Amino acid sequence: MFWKSSKDTVNGKTLFTSSVSAVAISLLLVGCSGGGTTDEQAASADIQGECGTVPTVEPNDPNGLLTDESPELQEIFNGFPEEISSSHWADAEALNNGDPVTIGYLQLDSGSTYANAFAEQINVSFDEAKSAGEASELIVKNPGGTGGEVTAADQLRSYNELIQEGADIIIAQPVSGDSFVEAVESAGEQGIPTVTWTGFIPSEYAVDVAPNVFNAVAAPVSEGLEMIDGEGSAVIVQGIEGMSINTVSVEAAEEVIALCPDVEIVGKPTGDFSEAAARSALTTFLATHPQEIDLVYQVASMGSGVYGAFDSAGRESMPVVVDHLASAASLAWWQELQDEGYEGVATGGNGEMGAQAVFEVTMRMANGEGPKFNHVVTNDILINNDNISEFAVPDASTTSSDEIQSAGELLPKEQTDEQFNSPTE
């Protein structure tokens, strides 16, 4: 059921996150990393909750590692789909004997707005760490080049080069986490940890930094359901049907909507993770479904296409759009409707915020703080009418290609401290 790597085969075609779109990459900000839950496990999950709330779902914690943790940390891992295991680095001392470390960075691509912002912030964060005397060198490898499609083999060659060139710790954005296991374990045995951001590597030597996909979907969907008083018709706009990153998000939304017996899902058109394609598919759907639609959940970064479709269809009222991974364009639509009393809900994040989160974990590990588990879960940032101005890009149009503005933190200190054994003051 859940995404085991960022590579999928759909209709006979192999898809990589770098060639699907920056959307699939940035879905890490809300979305998926590795996987391990079967359909049978999901079907038998004990889901507890009321309509309009985030249900309580047991995480994939076969060894009971969360049992003695705080209620706050258990809530962070609510419904977590990945298998939770202890980190090899849980009790590790500071790297490089406490001297400034050399950081290796295996970049995914440099051809999208998100990827460029991510890479730029990695450099900014490194400069800050260097000034603080915590880091000495940043070695960057970008095997795919600018906007190029990169293969796992390309990345593995570059990953091994980072080790050969003296990296003490490596930040990786793998297109296929499974293919990295042997290399990551070889590095780990040499005392070199790997921190991932866009693809979970199933090894005790890797630490995955990513949102909890269940909470990240359930929180905005449940808020949207509360806004429509738990009644009406709902539409789910999918990304690429059959792609596991899409499947896990849709299933999470369906589980939350199922808690509202008076809400019916009337359609699931496919938008290919493209605002233009989503607008076209949803416009076609609306032409054959004249009933009022009260709520729309879109899987990732297709929000402006949803708003545009209802505008093109001439609908008298805009539904509550659950805008998963909002863009400058989708927030521009929302703000235009605010004068008419419209309320929406969205999740936020961008390349800058993602890089800040993964670099924070990297330096905590380098300093010997000890991650408790093989995952560090990031914060889910909700956007509503009260804080939309913090994220909206001033004067952005409804066709803007910009990301939203940075606001809030994906890894606030208290949440991060909970996930390390020896957090510093």
Between helices 152-164 and 181-189, what is the axis angle to 10°?
10
Is the pLDDT confidence value at 420 over 90?
A: yes
Round to the nearest angstrom and report the end-to-end CA distance of the chain: 39
pTM here? 0.87
Residue 280 lies in a domain: yes
Residue 319, helix vs strand vs coil: coil
Residue with the bigger pLDDT between 37 and 224: it is 224
Distance (Å, whole) CA 321 – CA 273? 16
Distance (Å, whole) CA 242 – CA 112? 24
Contact between 310 and 318 (Cβ < 8 Å): yes
Eight-state DSSP code of residue 357? H
Residue 5 lies in a domain: no
Average pLDDT over residues 49-57: 93
Residue with tokens 């085969």, as numbered in its chain = 9
Predicted local confidence at residue 34, as pLDDT = 39
CATH code where residue 343 lies: 3.40.50.2300
Structure tokens at 409: 């933190």
Q: Which H/E stretch holds residue 345?
A: strand 345-347
Residue 303 lies in a domain: yes
Predicted local confidence at residue 145, as pLDDT = 65
Distance (Å, whole) CA 96 – CA 88? 17
Residue with tokens 């805009």, as numbered in its chain = 318
Average pLDDT over residues 1-8: 35
Predicted local confidence at residue 14, as pLDDT = 39
Residue 9 Cα distances to 240, 241, 272, 281, 390, angstroms: 11, 11, 14, 22, 38
Residue with tokens 């990513």, as numbered in its chain = 210
Is the pLDDT confidence value at 3 over 50?
A: no
pLDDT tens by residue, 307-361: 999 999 999 899 999 999 999 999 999 999 998 999 999 999 999 999 999 999 9
Residue 221 lies in a domain: yes
Domains held by the chain: number: 1
Residue 326 lies in a domain: yes
Other beta carbons within 10 angstroms of residue 419's beta carbon come to 25
Predicted local confidence at residue 7, as pLDDT = 42
Average pLDDT over residues 191-205: 92
Give 23's pLDDT tier (boundaries 50, 70, 90).
Answer: very low
Residue 415 lies in a domain: no
Predicted local confidence at residue 290, as pLDDT = 95
Residue 31 lies in a domain: no
Going by their DSSP bridges, the two strands 194-196 and 206-210 should be labelled as parallel
Distance (Å, whole) CA 420 – CA 305? 40
Predicted local confidence at residue 175, as pLDDT = 84
Q: Which domain holds residue 320?
A: 213-347
Residue 51 φ then ψ, to 5°: -55, 130
Distance (Å, whole) CA 165 – CA 186? 15
Predicted local confidence at residue 29, as pLDDT = 39
Q: Which H/E stretch holds residue 298?
A: strand 295-298
Residue 377 lies in a domain: no
Average pLDDT over residues 404-419: 95
Contact between 1 and 34 (Cβ < 8 Å): no
Distance (Å, whole) CA 181 – CA 165? 20
User: For residue 15, what are the β-bridge partners?
Assistant: 8
Predicted local confidence at residue 111, as pLDDT = 66
User: For residue 321, what are the β-bridge partners?
Assistant: 296
